[in-house]
Amino acid sequence: MKSIIASMAVAGLMFAGSAMAADMPELAKKSGCTACHAIDKKVVGPAWADVGKKYAGDAKAEAMLLEKVAKGGKGTWGTMAMPANSPKVSDADIKTLVQFVLSLK
């Protein structure tokens, strides 16, 4: 009985992870974000869920992330620098993506 429950729990976690990955916005794929980021795991850059958790409740987070995504930056999540995304990605699209990331608390 315990092994059945454990198997069901593992299957549930696998489904939850794949469902979360399926929620990656098309805008993120189109903008090239998925080359370095995933929602639920570190790739080159941090998992977006980790970013959302780190800045949950921080009133200054959106403005800081808007600037970091637009202009690039390094040091917060390791030594790998994040390249500038503006003007390749519009300010409106960057704002949409940052708001999505911050919703992943």
**What tens-digit pLDDT sequence spans the chain (105 residues)?**
444 443 444 344 444 443 344 478 999 999 999 999 999 999 999 999 999 999 999 999 999 999 999 999 988 898 899 999 999 999 999 999 999 999 998
List, in sequence order, every residue forming a beta bridge with 73; answer none if it has no partner.
82
Q: Is residue 84 a part of any domain in this protein?
A: yes
pLDDT of residue 12: 44
Q: Which amino acid is at 57?
A: G
Q: Is residue 72 a part of any domain in this protein?
A: yes
Q: Is residue 34 a part of any domain in this protein?
A: yes
Domain extent for 35: 25-102
What angle is formed at CA 22 by the lines to CA 12 and CA 25, rounded to 5 degrees? 145
Q: Is residue 17 a part of any domain in this protein?
A: no
Q: Is residue 16 a part of any domain in this protein?
A: no
Q: What is the CATH number of the domain that holds 85?
A: 1.10.760.10
How many domains does one find in the chain? 1
pLDDT of residue 67: 97
The structure's pTM equals 0.76
Give every CB contact of residue 24 below 8 A, 6+ residues apart in sequence.
34, 38, 39
